Structure 1
Amino acid sequence: MKNWLLTCLLSVGACTLNAQSLQPTEQKLIERIEANYPQMMDLLKNSVNINSGTFNVAGVKAVGDLYAAELAKLGFTIEWIQLPDSLKRAGHLVATRKGKKGKKIMLLGHLDTVFEPDMPTNPFTVLNDSTITGQGINDMKGGDVIIIAAMKAMHQLNLLNDANITIYMTGDEENAGEPRSISRGDFINRAKQHDMVLAFEGAAGLNTIATARRGSSGWELEVEGKQGHSSGVFGAAGYGAIYEAARIVNSFRETLSKEKYLTFNPGIFIGGSEVAASFEQQKGEASGKTNIISPKTIVNGDLRFLTEEQKINARKTMQHIVNNSLPGTKATIRFQDGIPSMAPTSGNEALANILSKTSEDMGLGKVVPGDPGSRGAGDISYVAAYADCLDGLGAAGRGSHAPGETLNTKLFPVLMKRSAVFIYRLTQVSK
């Protein structure tokens, strides 16, 4: 235990800030973060050591209960948003403080991880003086703890009394329950009542922030051809389903692959005489012979985009390509909406500028918007159309979603301090 506490204290001590531009209250916030840091690291350790894979309903709820107990001590009203049993998801943690002044702020996290109980375990382990490993430690239990640390410091200085803050931690961010109108319904409705949403997914470092994230959707291509002897291919028998599907997918690549922030990836491509596939389970099987022209091919893929307009235009282009079938074939394409995009907006940019000013005042340098193409879709995208948004405020580390996921303990306390000062400044912004 002594070694563990020493590691915590060394991590904080190694991050002395040149913060001459901070106000006295902001200096006190930083001091409270430093004093509370060992407790917050214990909270991180305890939560990481609870398996909360998305489908482990009991584990997700246990992490929610752990965080809820901490937030209740800070004067937050706690709710658990229960989802229907048919969704097979744990639900969501919501904590609120309703004041009478300033902007309404939502702080966003998630309780679940990609690591299910049947996967190899990776408990909270200190690797060296700058690295800790553990399942979900930076995606995103580290970010959840940053939220709680900032709230604890503000509470201790009576800075939450007039604040309007909602903390929303979803229980199925890694695999949202279907239909999403149910699993994200309460979240979206609450977000609409706020002026800004700050998401604490993993940070790319000290000096970049996400003002935009790409959305994710799906597509299914089904191609039919005339079955016949292979000797007749390209002639009266036509080209067959496999050639037509290949032409379509390659035409997608030739036509759209150079458009910035747009990607489309075929994940399953199955053709033959007999074809069966379950796109929901993402698997299938086929049988055929080399001397038979394939009568059927199916392809399943995703489509990622930065704006709704980009998505719509891409779909129109793909549909046009599908409509121009090779002789003897017929193709149809269906599109499925998934997670909307978090498009770049002037409001998001204004939030990033406030964060950058905070960072500079703390001696940490400027913060600039990162490349939207470097991030996948996330929960914040469901509400980006209704409020000003920032993402990537959480813990820094490596190997998200992979065995051996890590957290950078040199940056962790610095990000805690900056988040506390940043959120405090936002509570001081008048309506």
Structure 2
Amino acid sequence: MTTVTAQASRSVLTKVLTPALVLVMLTVGAAQAQLSKIEKKLVANVDAHRAEALKLLEEVVNINSGTMNFEGVQKVGQIFRAKLDALGFTTQWIDGKPFQRAGHLVARHAGKGKTILLIGHLDTVFELSSPFQKYTVENDSVVHGPGVGDMKGGDVVIIQSLQALNDAGLLKDMSIIVVMTGDEELSGEPLALSKYDLIEAAKVADIAIGFEDGDGLPETANISRRSSSDWTLKVTGVPAHSSQIFTDKIGAGAIYEASRILNLFYNDLSKEPDLTFNPGVILGGSTVEHDINKNGGSAFGKGNIVSKEVIVTGDIRTISPEQLDKARETMKRIVAQHLPQTNAEITFDEGYPPLAATPGNYELLKHFDKVSRDMGFGPVTANRPRDAGAADISFTSGYVDMAIDGLGLGSAGGHTVHEIADPRTLAMQSKRTAVLLYRLTREKVSSGR
């Protein structure tokens, strides 16, 4: 099983990324005639610092920064903080104690013109208990490591692109905010505190750019992101000897009721475009002990005892607030239709909001697409919302005129021990980002609204 999964991750990079990059290598020289003298200087700077950038990527990947490893998250944050300090940013470490996490790195560079917010995150899904801890190089197009794609590679893209702008004497005039959160993979609570600094940055920004890996394809970018929030279903029944099930007094039992509810969730909602809802954990029986902090628990029951209780936890993802409200109302209606002698309730937690595909986001994608074409890297199209998960950029929704995400490395196997990335895309994304930032801060950019 392990070998097959690893090969599947590698296959994604081999089949999708490699042909595109080979074509780029053959055409990029001629296409750069579309770049100005200053833009060519930015490209040359990225190439000159390629080895340095890869060394930085290896350094931060080799530091475990699972969300709950506060020391590791802070250590990675301090490395990026030092890089931003050296570029003239005013940096601040936001203590995460109020929301039970390590904290965030926020850096500001005062300038003129449009304010651009660059978003990354320091944490990964791989805690200290994970067997996946180290950065390894397979060949010139495949590197392995926890967070190499999601998203320490994207963080390095931020640093390398800003370094190129600084070396060219361009950064001094730019208004840039960098926010690298420490809890993207497992948000602290309450979200009002956890995402406060990110939202405050969005309020003063005109444009937001995220460096998650999106669907892992450099030829796509996110102009929308689905929401992500949790739900909990609690079901109770009347415990009794199994010989009495279905009688008027005992009824159907908790497990039958939970099964009814989940089946109707599927029947009524599974065909809704861009909507997903997943029951990730289910515990049922005579007694249930649920540990919410460990996303699990234990249950006891016997085949000859009618089940007393069931707990189901899951998530729901939608493309718009309206779709989320509609889905929740449907789920509540289904839950309220109890089988005999059972009861059930469903609760919904706060979570990541959706990022809608606004005209401004489409306009920003057009700018990024033109940069990519002018550099010889080919077109960039919007990916399908279902091909990428939730991300911090969603918290900029409603505050910025334009937003785009997915500018991280070409990657595959995210959130698994087979996570890999194509290191060649580090320079590619850094070049595209540096030129994009240069153009956005000098051209008159319409939001499309």
Per the normalisation by structure 1, the TM-score is 0.92
Say which of 363, 373, 397 aligns to 2:386: 373
Say which of 154, 158, 164 aligns to 2:175: 164
2:106 counterpart residue number: 94
Amino acid across the alignment from 2:414: S
Identity %: 45
2:70 counterpart residue number: 57
Give the whole-Å Cα distance in 1 for the aligned partners of 2:69 and 2:341.
49
1:425 counterpart residue number: 439
Report the secondary structure of 1:71's partner residue: helix
* 1:402 partnered with 2:416: yes
Contact 1:206–1:364 (8 Å) recurs in 2: no
- Most deviating of 130-139 and 288-297: 288-297
Give the whole-Å Cα distance in 2 for the aligned partners of 1:145 and 1:126.
17
Contact 1:211–1:352 (8 Å) recurs in 2: yes
Amino acid across the alignment from 1:107: L
Give the whole-Å Cα distance in 1 for the aligned partners of 2:280 and 2:83.
42
Give the whole-Å Cα distance in 1 for the aligned partners of 2:295 and 2:136.
34
2:142 counterpart residue number: 131
1:228 counterpart residue number: 240
1:217 counterpart residue number: 229
- Most deviating of 313-322 and 408-417: 408-417
Aligned residues: 418
Give the whole-Å Cα distance in 2 for the aligned partners of 1:71 and 1:56.
23
2:151 counterpart residue number: 140
CA RMSD of superposed structures (Å): 2.0
Quickly say closer, same or farther: Cα 1:26–1:286, change in 2 above 3 A.
Answer: same
Q: Please state how far the C-alpha of 1:121 moved relative to its aligned partner.
A: 4.9
2:294 counterpart residue number: 281
Contact 2:218–2:409 (8 Å) recurs in 1: no
Give the whole-Å Cα distance in 1 for the aligned partners of 2:121 and 2:210.
9
1:244 counterpart residue number: 257
User: Which string of whole-angstrom CA distances, capped at 9 and with x for unpartnered residues, describes residues 39-81 of structure 1?
Assistant: 2222222222222222222222222221122222211111111
Amino acid across the alignment from 1:130: S
Contact 1:103–1:430 (8 Å) recurs in 2: no
1:265 counterpart residue number: 278
Give the whole-Å Cα distance in 2 for the aligned partners of 1:42 and 1:294.
56
Quickly say closer, same or farther: Cα 1:166–1:328, change in 2 above 3 A.
Answer: same
Amino acid across the alignment from 1:422: L
Quickly say closer, same or farther: Cα 1:167–1:300, change in 2 above 3 A.
Answer: same
* 1:301 partnered with 2:314: yes
Give the whole-Å Cα distance in 2 for the aligned partners of 1:231 and 1:274.
19
Contact 2:100–2:189 (8 Å) recurs in 1: no
| Unpaired segments ≥5 residues, structure 1 | 1-10
Contact 2:228–2:353 (8 Å) recurs in 1: yes
Contact 2:54–2:423 (8 Å) recurs in 1: no
Contact 1:14–1:410 (8 Å) recurs in 2: no
Q: Please state how far the C-alpha of 1:323 moved relative to its aligned partner.
A: 1.4
Question: Which of the pair is proportionally richer in helix?
Answer: 2
Quickly say closer, same or farther: Cα 1:75–1:213, change in 2 above 3 A.
Answer: same
Alignment of 1:39-50 (within 5 A): 39-50=52-63
Report the secondary structure of 1:215's partner residue: coil
Amino acid across the alignment from 1:230: S
Quickly say closer, same or farther: Cα 1:118–1:322, change in 2 above 3 A.
Answer: closer
Report the secondary structure of 1:137's partner residue: coil
